[in-house]
Each structure stands twice: as structure tokens, then as C-alpha cells.
């Protein structure tokens, strides 16, 4: 059965493929248009630069009238990201609009990496370091950037294990 939400997600996916924003990508999982995997590359000139951060987006049948649940799967140290990967971002909560699509969601999250809001913290430690000790904050972010590279190599080694020998 094709619902409004599913049709809209198909359109979002086509738009994402035809006109991909710089530094983000996303796609539905193989057998479920309501569950997406996404990647955000750390924005240039930020402590997140060169990082590769994985996320999941879970949509309900109420999309686009209700926002998806978006979480970082990759470890994240950021004032607006909860320990469980949940994201404190106005457009995913009280400022949601049905005009937002997957592309807008991902670029907004990438923008949040560039410009954190320490006044609305999800991670108090990150917010405090961001405000009071930028050097230490950037050091902690660099650790998760490096871990994001290890996440990728773990995925590749898992894929290599699953491949048949040639």
C-alpha cells in the first residue's frame, strides 16, 4: 500500500539523488522506505572536518506532517547531541514544517555541526567546553572524528569478511 508518507519519501529520495547537497547523503534501507541511513561529512573549517558521521532517520506514516526521529549512530561530542545520538534541533521539534524534506534535514544537521547552540545544550559537558575552553572542546571533537574513520574501516572489514574469496 502506498501512503502519502511513502510517496513523499520516494520523492525526497529522488530529489536527493538528482540534486545531492554537498557533504550529505542518505537513502532508505533495502526493504523499508520508512527507515533511512545517512552520512554527514564534517563541514570544512570546523573541528568536525574530515569526519564521516552516520545517522538513522525513522519516519512514521505522519510524515511530512511530523518530523522523523533522527539519531547519530556514530559517536558524537557536540553541545546539541544527546548521549544516545538524539539531536536537539528546532526543525526536528517545535519548528518542524512539512516543507522540509530529507535533504533539508541533513543539511540543517550539518549546519548545526558548523554552528552549535551551546545555550540549548543536549550535552552539558560539550556546551561548557565549547563556551569556556574551545581548545579542549576541539581536542575532544578530533577524537570522535578519528573514531569516525575507524567506523568506516570496521564496515569495510565486515564487508570483506562477507565477500566470497576470488
Specify the pLDDT at position 163: 42
Q: Which of 88, 92, 105, 109 is catalytic?
A: 88
Q: Apex CA 85: angle with CA 147 and CA 106, to 5°? A: 90
* Position 158 in a domain: no
Joined together, the cell numbers standing for residue 67 give 518530523
pTM: 0.88
Of residues 155 and 108, more confidently modeled: 108
CATH of the domain at 47: 3.10.110.10
Specify the pLDDT at position 162: 40
Buried b (16+ CB within 10 A) or exposed e, 53-64: bbbbbebeeebb
Nearest CA to 52 out of 153, 133, 134 is that of 153
- Backbone φ, ψ for residue 27 (5° rounding): -160, 150
Question: Can you tell me the distance from the alpha carbon of 109 to that of 48, in angstroms, rounded to the nearest whole number?
Answer: 12
Element (H, E) at 69: strand 69-72
Q: Would you place residue 110 in the very low, low, confident or very high pLDDT band (cuts 50, 70, 90)?
A: very high
Is 39 catalytic? The answer is no
Element (H, E) at 37: strand 32-41
pLDDT digits (tens, 9 = 90+) for 47-89: 999 999 999 999 999 999 999 999 999 999 999 999 999 999 9
* Position 161 in a domain: no
**Number of structural domains the chain divides into:** 1
* Position 76 in a domain: yes
* Position 159 in a domain: no
* Position 77 in a domain: yes
**Residue 112: exposure state from Cβ atoms within 10 A (0-12, 13-18, ≥19):** buried
Specify the pLDDT at position 60: 97
Query: Residue 112 sits in which domain range?
Result: 4-153
* Position 142 in a domain: yes
Sheet holding 32-41, edge to edge: 24-29, 32-41, 52-58, 69-72
Amino acid at each position: 500500500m502506498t501512503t502519502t508518507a511513502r510517496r513523499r519519501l520516494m520523492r525526497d529520495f529522488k530529489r536527493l539523488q538528482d540534486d545531492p547537497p554537498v557533504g550529505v547523503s542518505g537513502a532508505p534501507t533495502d526493504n523499508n522506505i520508512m527507515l533511512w541511513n545517512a552520512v554527514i561529512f564534517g563541514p570544512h573549517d570546523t573541528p568536525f572536518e574530515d569526519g564521516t558521521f552516520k545517522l538513522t532517520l525513522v519516519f512514521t506514516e505522519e510524515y511530512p506532517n511530523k518530523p522523523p526521529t533522527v539519531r547519530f549512530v556514530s559517536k558524537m561530542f557536540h553541545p546539541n547531541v544527546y548521549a544516545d545520538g538524539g539531536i536537539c534541533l528546532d526543525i526536528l521539534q517545535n519548528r518542524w514544517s512539512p516543507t522540509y524534506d530529507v535533504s533539508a534535514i541533513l543539511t540543517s544537521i550539518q549546519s548545526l555541526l558548523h554552528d552549535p547552540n551551546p545555550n540549548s545544550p543536549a550535552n552539558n559537558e560539550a556546551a561548557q567546553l565549547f563556551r569556556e575552553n574551545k581548545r579542549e572542546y576541539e581536542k575532544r571533537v578530533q577524537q570522535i572524528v578519528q573514531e569516525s574513520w575507524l567506523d568506516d574501516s570496521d564496515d569495510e572489514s565486515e564487508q570483506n569478511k562477507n565477500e566470497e574469496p576470488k
